Amino acid sequence: MTLEILTADSLSDFRHGFFTRRGGASSGVFAGLNCGAGSSDQSEIVSINRSRVADAMQVTPEHLIAMHQVHSADVVPVTGPPSERPRADAMVTATPGLALSVLTADCQPVLFGDAEAGVIGAAHAGWRGALDGVLEATIDAMEALGANRGDISAVIGPSISQAAYEVGPEFLDDFMADDPQNSRFFANGMNGHYQFDLPAFGLHRLRRAGIGQAEWTRHCTYGDPDRFYSYRRTTHAGEADYGRLISVIRL
């Protein structure tokens, strides 16, 4: 099966893609394009999958840069292949030939590009990172490399949708403590719970930061098991582990 790569017109100046699980070498619960080295999938199979992604991005596997993601607001500038994966949740670069990647399985993968300045970024934005400011920090780091925020386009890839994201009252409390207006991203659910709209919150933070364009691809990871891995769906199914989707942008 060939790779399935979702793209966005607003990033058409860059080779980029939100890869689905289709076209990979993994099997079992990981069936497809599992690119998560931190999963219990066979490491050699994950390497094969990552090599297929690198080929699609027209870079060597060494130039497909990955992070050790920790749900932070930390951003690292990249000028070449690092000796080890940086502990961070976003990367930026102005170095041609590098492909920045993020791994997700319900959290938001966000790809950024300023074609005029030749600066790109990639962020892993779960609820914690988004609330703590990883998206704004990525924009600031791009500006430090010469980008103009008014020229930056950002695209949120496949993420868990509001209909599938049930949260408890303490979760709502964290967001209300940050800004009472955040109540708009919650809908009443069952048994005193709420439904949280993660992509809408991400778009709000991006637009509030003043970038030129922000959009979501409108794909829900939870609701489409044939195309996407989902941590929450795996948990509900009682499965032992789950695959990780990869999203990539290169300069």
Question: Per residue in 141-199, pLDDT tens?
Answer: 999 999 999 999 999 999 999 999 999 999 999 999 999 999 999 999 999 999 999 99
pLDDT of residue 121: 98
Residue 16, token pair as written in the block:
């980029």
Residue 230 counted as domain residue = yes
CB 214 within 8 A of CB 6: no
Residue 13 counted as domain residue = yes
Mean pLDDT across 74-93: 96
Partnered with residue 15 across adjacent β-strands are 250
Residue 86 counted as domain residue = yes
Nearest to 198 by CA among 127, 99, 134: 127
Share the mean pLDDT of the chain: 96
Q: For the chain, what is the domain count?
A: 1
Q: Print the domain residue range for 144.
A: 5-161+197-250
pLDDT of residue 240: 86
- The answer, yes or no, to whether residue 1 has pLDDT greater than 80, is no
Residue 179 counted as domain residue = no
Residue 188 counted as domain residue = no
pLDDT of residue 233: 96
Residue 205, token pair as written in the block:
């933070």
Spatial separation of the C-alpha atoms in residues 114 and 146, rounded to whole Å: 9
Q: Where are the alpha helices (DSSP H) in 34-188?
A: 43-57, 127-132, 134-144, 169-178
Residue 67 counted as domain residue = yes
Write the CATH number for 25.
3.60.140.10
Residue 182 counted as domain residue = no
Residue 234 counted as domain residue = yes
Longest CA–CA span in the chain (Å) reads 51
- The answer, yes or no, to whether residue 51 has pLDDT greater than 90, is yes
Integer CA distances (angstroms), 146 to 16, 112, 149, 199, 200, in order: 21, 14, 10, 27, 28
The pTM assigned to this predicted structure is 0.97
Write out pLDDT tens, residues 95-131: 999 999 999 999 999 999 999 999 999 999 999 999 9
